[in-house]
Amino acid sequence: MSISFSVVVKCEGGLHARPSSILVKYAISNGLDMVISYEGREVSAHSLLDVLSLCFPKGGEINIDIAQDERGACGTIPIDEVERDIKELFDIVFM
């Protein structure tokens, strides 16, 4: 079981190293089994180099899939917080 949602890259230079590293740190520190996909390619959110290899441009729509455990939780935080936090990163922090 997993949750899936999409976010749009709003950074002028696309999703470059700094915001990508914040996303990777978020996934690792919260124990998330997160997969990021763009234009048919999928990578683990635990690898900064893999995330950067997708070359997300400004306006690119990224799909995020996060596995849930048997309790319906994602890693160490509640599922509703995960989606809210990641969307907030893309809407506010990654500008």
Enter the pTM of the model: 0.86
Domains of the chain: 2-93 (3.30.1340.10)
- Rounded Cα distance, 3 and 82, in Å: 10
Would you state the structure tokens that stand for residue 43, as one six-digit string? 């990578």
Q: What is the pLDDT of residue 1?
A: 76
Q: Which tops the pLDDT comparison, 90 or 26?
A: 26
Would you state the structure tokens that stand for residue 72, as one six-digit string? 């319906």
pLDDT digits (tens, 9 = 90+) for 50-92: 999 999 999 999 999 999 877 767 788 877 888 889 888 888 7
Q: What is the pLDDT of residue 95?
A: 61
- Rounded Cα distance, 19 and 86, in Å: 11
Q: Which tops the pLDDT comparison, 70 or 28?
A: 28
Q: Where are the beta strands (DSSP E) in the chain?
A: 2-8, 34-38, 41-44, 61-67
Using an 8 Å Cβ cutoff, are 95 and 89 in contact? no
